[in-house]
Amino acid sequence: MKSEKAQSILEILVAMSISIPILAGITSVATNVAKSLIKIKSESSNLYAVSKIGTQISTLVDEVDQQRLNLPPRIHKNGKITYLNGKTNPISLRTDLLKPSILSDAITSISLFGIEALDVEKVDISGTLKIYYVCKKFSLIPTAVAVNSVNILSSETFIGLTTTGIIEFIGTATNWGSLTTKKCYVFSLTEIDGMISSVKPVDTTPFVHTIFPAQRLYTLYIDSGGRFRYLGHRGSLNIENQPILEGIDSLRLSYLLHPSPDFIGLKTTLRLISNNSDYRFSKISRLSRQNSLNILLN
């Protein structure tokens, strides 16, 4: 009886001596798999963040190529977002998490309806309000008339082209019927100190020959909470502020040197909170820039 009990105990001990290493091995494998999955998830999240911001910067440069105006994006260093006249944008005066991070740069750009250049036919002036009667440079393309007209009528920001540069306007657009085969509009506009232009003295303001309606005017920046944000503008007003992505440690931007100064290039260095690695990418415009006079003559 005792020998049978001893044998049973021995069998149990032998089984344990075999199973414990196996269980330990299984546990180790499971732990390693869990760590690997966490790492993969982290890397996937990092790649998504890099791709998301890279796409935003790439889109910004692509929008510059919608026209050939010498109107490059404006980089704001160390989170200080300003108007072109040097005054600080209210977003940089905030004291909460919406305030731009001083560890990051911001960038302002405008997206125009590039093919919708409109020639000024006549202008009426009433104080600071200017009523421009404009028509498209080019003949109508029937399939695009409805869509483009709706887009232009929804515009609130406009860029006026003179022989010496640009003027930023805010205002509204209404239909003016058609002259021959060209679509025409009435723009009721006020010149403003904005993100990409500043008001000129009245006696030095040149005549506006062509006007471009804008799709959007915006700034991309990192807030104090590490969020990548889209800040929409209308003149001197910030009209929307939307978070795009979280987990950003810093975003550094600079103009990319190019053999030809007529092209616009951006260099981006991104660092995420989840690691200490820098991700770098760059983008160069496909079209060269032209001065105002050349555009008006073409």
DSSP secondary structure letters along 19-56:
HHHHHHHHHHHHHHHHHHHHHHHHHHHHHHHHHHHHHH
**Is the pLDDT at 123 greater than 90, yes or no?**
yes
**pLDDT tens track for 194-251:** 999 887 666 556 789 999 999 899 999 999 999 999 999 998 899 999 999 999 999 9
Give pLDDT, residue 176: 86
Provide the CA 263 distance to its chain's centre, in angstroms.
19
Cβ(219)–Cβ(233) below 8 Å? yes
Q: Could you tell me which of 241, 242, 246, 240 has the C-alpha nearest to residue 227?
A: 246
**Is the pLDDT at 26 greater than 90, yes or no?**
no
Distances (CA, A) of 202 to 10, 208, 211: 104, 13, 19
Q: Could you tell me which of 290, 267, 279, 264 has the C-alpha nearest to residue 62?
A: 264
Q: How far apart are the C-alpha atoms of 49 and 24, rounded to whole Å?
A: 37
Which phi-psi region, left, alpha or beta, contains residue 103 (left: φ > 0; alpha: ψ -120 to 50)?
alpha
Give pLDDT, residue 205: 65
**pLDDT tens track for 138-154:** 655 544 444 455 578 88
Q: What's the chain's average pLDDT? A: 82
